[in-house]
Amino acid sequence: MGAIDCYPNSKLKLQSMFLHRKSTNLISKAKEVALVAHPHVMPSPTIRSSAANLTRTMAAINKDGIGVDPHELDAIFEQKRSLRSKVRKALKNMDPILRSQEDDAIENIVVESSWFKASKSLCAYVSSPALLEVGTSRIISEVLSSSAKERKKLYVPRVEDRNSNMKMLMISSVKDLIEKSMNILEPALVDSDGNQREDVMQASDPVDLFIVPGLAFDKSGSRLGRSGGYYDLFLKNYQELTKKKRWKQPLLVALSYSVQIIEDGVIPVTPFDIPMDALVSPAGFIPISGAALRRCE
C-alpha cells in the first residue's frame, strides 16, 4: 500500500533551540524551547534549505553533546521555503471537482477505518478552504453527531500567538467554533455557560488519535508544515506528556491530496520535525510506523 517503515521512538532530546523570527522585518527576540530530535530525520550534510521571510539561528545540542550546525539548519529552511511555494501552486491549480472528489474519498477512508472507529478521544484540525486543506467537516460531523453515550472526545486547535503556541480544546458542537482571521474556525475559550473548555494537555485520559494537516508528505513519514511550527511543537509537548503519564502514544495520521505526496527524501527535515505514523490519501491508508501497522491488524 506504500512504503512501510517502522520508526522507533526518538531517544534524543535537544536541550536548547534559539529561534529568531521576522515579522515585517525581523523580531529581534530569541525564544528558547526544548525539542525532541528524531535520529532517522537528522539533517544530511547534502541538504540545504531555509524560510523566505524567516531568518532563524538555531543552536541545538543532543544528549551526547553533539551540536547541530545552525548554518545547516538555516539552509534546510531555505529548501523548505522553496518546496512550500511549489506545493501551494499545485494546490491552487487543483481542479475544484477533483478536490471535492478527493475530500470525499479521504474522509470516507477515515470514518470507515477500524482505527478511527476504535478511538475514544482524538485531536483533529478544522479544515480551512483558505488554506486549501483536506476537508475534515465529515470527520468532525461524524464525531459530534454520535449519541452522548457513544461520542468520542474531540479536541480542535486554537492558535494562541505567533510564537508557535497552540491549544487543543474540547468541543461538543460546531456552534462551539468561532470565526477568526482568514475565516478559520477555532473554539472559543469558554462554552456557552462561561465554563473553561477542557484542554487536552490537562485531560485525565489520553488521546488515541491525531488528525494532522500539512503542505506536503512522503511515504516514509516526513511532513512539511506551513512554517509556523505549531504542530511540531504541540506534538512534541504532547508526546512528552504521554511519556510522563506512561500513556500509549497517539497515532499521528496526516490527510493528503494526491498532489501533496512527493518522492521520499525530497522533503528537507530537521531534528525538530515530528514524523507521521500514517497517511490517508485518495488512494487509501498508508501505514508507516509499527504502531500504524498494528492498528491495521
CA distances (Å), origin 132, targets 95, 139, 184, 260: 12, 17, 11, 11
- 194: which 3 cell numbers? 462561561
**Using 50, 70 and 90 to split pLDDT, how confident is the model at 68?**
low
Among 54-68, 130-144, 246-260, the minimum mean pLDDT is found in: 54-68
Residue 1 has pLDDT above 60, yes or no: no
Q: What is the pLDDT of residue 207?
A: 97
Q: Mean pLDDT score of the chain, rounded to an integer?
A: 80
Q: What is the pLDDT of residue 231?
A: 96
Q: What is the pLDDT of residue 37?
A: 34
- pLDDT tens string 245-267: 999 999 999 999 999 999 999 99
Residue 287 has pLDDT above 50, yes or no: yes
DSSP 86-127: HHHHHHHTS-HHHHHHHHHHHHHHHHHSHHHHH-SEEEE---
The H or E element that residue 81 is part of is helix 70-92
Task: Give every CB contact of residue 257 below 8 A, 6+ residues apart in sequence.
Answer: 91, 94, 99, 102, 106, 134, 281, 282
Which CATH code, of 2.40.37.10, 3.30.200.20, 3.40.50.10420, 3.40.50.150, is assigned to 71-294? 3.40.50.10420
- pLDDT tens string 39-50: 333 333 333 333
Phi-psi region of 265 (alpha: psi -120 to 50; beta: other; left: phi over 0): left
Q: Which of 27-36, 54-63, 231-240 has the highest mean pLDDT?
A: 231-240
Q: What is the pLDDT of residue 149?
A: 82
Using CB atoms within 10 A of its CB, is residue 23 exposed (0-12), middle (13-18) or buried (19+)? exposed
Residue 104 has pLDDT above 60, yes or no: yes
**Is 1:286 a contact under the CB 8 Å cutoff?**
yes
- pLDDT tens string 184-209: 999 999 988 889 999 999 999 999 99
Residue 55 has pLDDT above 90, yes or no: no
- pLDDT tens string 115-132: 999 999 999 999 999 999
Q: What is the pLDDT of residue 7?
A: 32
- pLDDT tens string 271-284: 889 999 999 999 99
Q: What is the pLDDT of residue 26?
A: 32
